[in-house]
């Protein structure tokens, strides 16, 4: 992160990703999501399904309630 400031190599608004896979500058368009390598999730970067389900549960509950309120 120091290099972002000290080297003045990157312009304002640059998105610089640091992950287990290394570092990269994120271009404005047409990029793989973080953790993706050749269109597939890199080994050790997947999220367990139960974690996704738990994270989405409150959102899904609200949207279901909203759908019910409008019907």
The answer to whether the beta carbons of residues 52 and 40 sit under 8 Å apart is no
pTM summary value? 0.35
The residue-averaged pLDDT of 55-60 equals 89
More confident residue, 35 or 63: 63
Average pLDDT over residues 4-27: 78
Residue that wins the pLDDT comparison between 16 and 38: 16
Can you tell me the distance from the alpha carbon of 27 to that of 29, in angstroms, rounded to the nearest whole number?
6
Spatial CB neighbours of 12, under 8 Å, sequence gap ≥ 6: none
* 15 bridge partner residues: 26
Average pLDDT score, the chain: 77
User: In angstroms, rounded to a whole number, what is the distance separating the alpha carbons of residues 13 and 29?
Assistant: 14
Q: How many CA atoms lie within 13 A of 22 on its CB side?
A: 6
């Amino acid at each position: 992160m120091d290099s972002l400031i000290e080297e003045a190599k990157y312009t304002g608004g640059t998105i610089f990703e640091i992950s287990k896979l290394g570092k990269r500058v994120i271009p404005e368009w047409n990029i793989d999501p973080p953790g993706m390598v050749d269109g597939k999730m890199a080994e050790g970067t997947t999220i367990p399904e139960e974690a996704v389900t738990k994270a989405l549960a409150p959102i899904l509950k609200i949207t279901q309630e909203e759908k019910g309120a409008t019907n």
